[in-house]
Structure 1
Amino acid sequence: MRVTPVPFDPALSAVLDAMPRGEQSEPSPESIGVIRDSAAFIPLPTVADVVGDRAIDVEERTVPGPAGAPDLDITVLRPRRRKAPVPGLYNIHGGGMISGHRHQDTPRLADLVEELGVVAVNVEYRLAPENPDPAPVEDCYAGVRWMSGNAAELGVDPRRIVVMGGSAGGGLSAGVALMARDRGAPFLAGQLLLCPMLDDGNTTVSSHQYDGSGTWQRAMNLLAWQALLGEKAGDPTADVSAYAAPARASDLSGLPPAFVEAGSAELFRDEDVDYASRIWAAGGQAELHIWQGAFHGFDVFAPDHEVTRAALSARLSWLRRVLGL
């Protein structure tokens, strides 16, 4: 498919140009370990460094995973001055389901805990290909079940929990919301889906537009889905769970309100727009933001850009409304 990509915002394009690239090679299953190691090029501050002298208490815990699976490591961030119970945020990190670590999202969560006075739980889940579907999404579901079941101890209102995440974390959040609906628990007040990875098909226009440009490119996306789903990835006739690839869900009714965000200049744009549109078509609630000229993960790589300030403001507004703050 020959396509012309949507151009990057000039200031964001300069951010991309300044990123260290190193040697570029075609992603392959053998390169996943290298990809994980090279993630160190993005400095990962400790939780203590992120929190600093803010009035936030941090607790590292281990909680039960899915039946027959290892326990889960989680980080709990609590505002020090709060009148319990308060709303809760359950966060799932990105990384294509093949890389990443929960602490990469600590800066985002600490800001939300401080701004909104909520409790955040940040989960570590098993990664593909060593742990293919359904391991990642089942881990994430087990974590939010634990959070809801232990809401009183955490000081959380179990009727005001939002599941959230970016990229793969957004896709897993959507999968967890589908699971919670189908399994009847836990109750979720909303799903905050930031540039979510939803569609293993890779047939949309935007999935072709960023083949060789941007922060998350087509070849990497294909590799990630293959790591998670194996030979089933991209096969429309294959029996692929909608919990793994939420774009495959035939029924998007009865879901918690969704906030869906993406850049206009990233490969997930079209599948994210389609997901929000299908929620509306099913009579559900979705708020959709497509940020002009923004690449995948723009808020992380360009925190001082005007589009990032607008995006953060929109997220806060939605969270306040859906959580009754």
Structure 2
Amino acid sequence: MTLATDRFPRPPYDIEIEPLVEIAADNTESFVGNFDLKKLREEALRREHPRTQALLADKTVTCQDVVIPGPRNDLTLTVVRPAGERSEPRPCIFYIHGGAMVRSDRYAGLDCSTIWARELGAITISVEYGLAPENAGTGPAEDCYAALVWAGKHADALGIDANKLILYGVSAGGGLAASVALMMRDKKGGHPVALRGLFLKAPMLDDRAVSVSAQQFVTGPMYNSTINRAAWRCLLGERAGSTADVVSAYEAPARAQDLSGLPPTYLDCGTADPFRDDNAAFAAKLWEGGVHAEFHAWPGAPHAFDRIAPDAAISKLAKATRLAWLRRILETEIKRQSGQVTNGKVSQQTIE
């Protein structure tokens, strides 16, 4: 049953972000009732259009579309490369976009690829996975998995270093990234990819939406748990939110009982995000499984806060912290290849 009101008091919004939340309250999206999915999709594309056009016009990178076979239909990938020639292979960030599983496209948030190109020398690959409800259950995750495996098989042609590949997902894409990482762990020997890291930005992980944070943000502007419940119903139908064992971890990663064997993982979200407690619980489960995981809960920040208020101090701090983690993961691999890291420990040569 859809909750109508918040059941717990909310933590305050960040002082720089609160005015934007108040403005958004007059134009709150709602997935309640007979929502117009076509309209919601058009609005999402329109919001991202200026950033997409800026990316395509940016001379510091090149964008190339590639069409590959998918599990059911062909999949389109966009490959963003730093401009200029380079003989040695580059690091790769395999990117999965957000949009509550039901909207947006592979360009949503892809403007971050210009930063990764400049700061990390990385190639970004973004996949156009099938959206729900047209693609339900494990369909979207299977699309992403197939695209990642294809990228691994064609690493040389793509100019990427298969040992420096990070799987990166945002919101719904974060949930899909976690699902794909579980698929890779479980399909041992069935793929040519070894993930160096897993990056989950405010991931959409749990269809049950019963945490305290979900009940703090049932209504109101920004992304809330009422929207979230409706989005999960698009993906899972009547199974969404069930307490029975009818939803797999490949559909809702919070359902996984064991997260051991996953690569080093970064998670973050805001304290004013309905996903906050699901993300914290997932981080704890990673630690329980012996996974190297880093978790940040940004105070007063709602879902997608760095897109809503990119110049707020908390947004700048979050973006700098994320970039630092990506750089650290890639530099660790460089040291590993040079023999300076052995079994997770820095060699004496490094500290002398």
Q: After the TM superposition, which residues 110-259 of structure 1 pair with which residues of structure 2 at under 5 Å, given as runs? A: 110-184=114-188, 185=191, 186-259=193-266
* Counterpart AA for 2:149: R
* Identical columns (%): 39
Paired AA for residue 146 in structure 1? W
Residue 7 of structure 1 is matched in structure 2 by 12
- Which residue of 80, 83, 87 corresponds with 2:83? 80
- Residue 309 (structure 1) aligned to one of 299, 306, 316: 316
Confirm or deny that 1:28 pairs with 2:33: yes
Report if the CA contact (8 A) 1:6-1:293 is conserved: yes
Match of 1:71 in 2: 74
- 1:102 & 1:50 partners in 2: Cα distance? 12
Contact 1:94/1:165 (8 A) holds in 2: yes
Letter in 1 for 2:126: N
SS of the equivalent of 2:36 reads helix
Equivalence for 1:292: 299
Unaligned segments of structure 1, at least 5 residues: none
Q: Answer yes or no: is 1:61 the counterpart of 2:66.
A: yes
Aligned pair in 2 of structure 1 residues 4, 212: CA closer, same or farther (>3 Å)? Answer: same
- Residue 87 of structure 1 aligns with an amino acid whose one-letter code is P
1:103 maps to amino acid: Y
Alignment equivalent of 2:93, drawn from 72, 89, 92: 89
TM-score, length basis structure 1:
0.94
**Quick check: 212-221 or 30-39, which moved more?**
30-39
Q: Give the C-alpha shift of residue 43 in structure 1.
A: 4.1
Q: After superposition, what is the alpha-carbon deviation per residue over 1:176-212, rounded to whole angstroms, capped at 9, x for unaligned?
A: 1101111123211111100000001111000011111
How big is the alpha-carbon RMSD for the aligned residues of Structure 1 and Structure 2?
Answer: 1.8
The separation in 2 between residues aligned to 1:262 and 1:30, in whole angstroms, is 27
Quote the offset at 1:47 in angstroms.
4.3
Paired AA for residue 179 in structure 2: G
- Structure 1 distance, partners of 2:242, 2:213, is 19
1:24 Cα deviation from its structure 2 partner: 5.9
Secondary structure at the counterpart of residue 10 of structure 1: coil
The 1:255/1:264 distance shift into structure 2, 3 A limit, reads same
For 1:244 and 1:253, locate their aligned partners in 2 and report how far apart those are by CA, in whole Å. 18
Q: For 1:176 and 1:281, how far apart are their aligned partners in 2?
A: 20
User: Structure 2 length normalisation: TM-score?
Assistant: 0.87
Aligned residue in 1 for 2:347: none
The CA distance in 2 between the partners of 1:207 and 1:123, in whole Å, is 29
Q: Is the 8 A contact 2:206 2:255 kept in 1?
A: yes
Aligned equivalents of 1:318, 1:25: Cα separation in 2: 35
Bigger Cα displacement from structure 2, 212-221 vs 84-93: 212-221
SS of the residue aligned with 2:258?
coil
* Residue 262 (str. 1) matches residue 269 (str. 2): yes
Distance 1:227 1:235 in 2: 14
Does the 8 Å CA contact 1:99/1:127 hold for their aligned counterparts?
yes
Structure 2 unmatched runs, 5+:
1-5, 335-352
Q: Quick one: structure 1 residues 230 and 281, their matched pair in 2 at CA, closer, same or farther if it must change by over 3 Å?
A: same
Q: Which amino acid aligns with 1:320?
A: R
Superposed displacement of residue 213, structure 1: 2.4
Distance 2:101 2:80 in 1: 23
Which of 1 and 2 has greater Rg?
2
Give the superposition deviation at 1:13.
Answer: 1.0
For the 8 Å contact 2:167–2:177, the answer to whether it is kept is: yes
What SS does structure 2 have at the residue aligned with 1:294? strand
**Segment drifting more, 100-109 vs 194-203:** 100-109
Q: How many residues align?
A: 323
1:193-236 Cα shifts (integer Å, max 9, x gaps): 00000001111000011111241111110001111011111112
Preserved contact between residue 206 and residue 253 of structure 2 (Cα < 8 Å): yes
SS of the residue 2:108 aligns to: helix
